Amino acid sequence: MTHGSRISCVGIVGDGCGGGREFIVENEILFAYDPQTGENIILLKNIHMPKAISKNECIITIKCEKEEIKFDLSALKKV
């Protein structure tokens, strides 16, 4: 999903880490939004020129203009 400078994807319940949460990149920051609690958690900063975001199991992939970032939700770090 894309909204101007904001991109997002939703984790499928039962598909590894973060099921049911929305993962959003906005203003160069990756957030996890939990719709049940309304809480936004900052996961990663300094994401430059993001174009797309996807989630597969515990890995968030962010395709940027000059790089591809993989973020492991189980370890809470870039891989």
Signed CA dihedral, 30, 55, 2, 47: sign only: positive
Are residues 52 and 11 in contact, defined by beta-carbon separation less than 8 angstroms? no
**Could you tell me what percent of the chain has a pLDDT over 90?**
82
Q: What angle do CA 31, 9, 44 make, to 5 degrees?
A: 25
- Alpha-carbon dihedral of residues 29, 34, 3, 64, nearest 10 degrees? 40
Q: Among the listed ranges 13-17, 26-30, 67-71, which one has the minimum average pLDDT value?
A: 13-17
Query: For residue 5, what pLDDT is reported?
Result: 78
Answer whether 72's CB lies under 8 Å from 79's CB. Answer: yes
CATH topology of domain 2-78: Thrombin, subunit H (2.40.10)
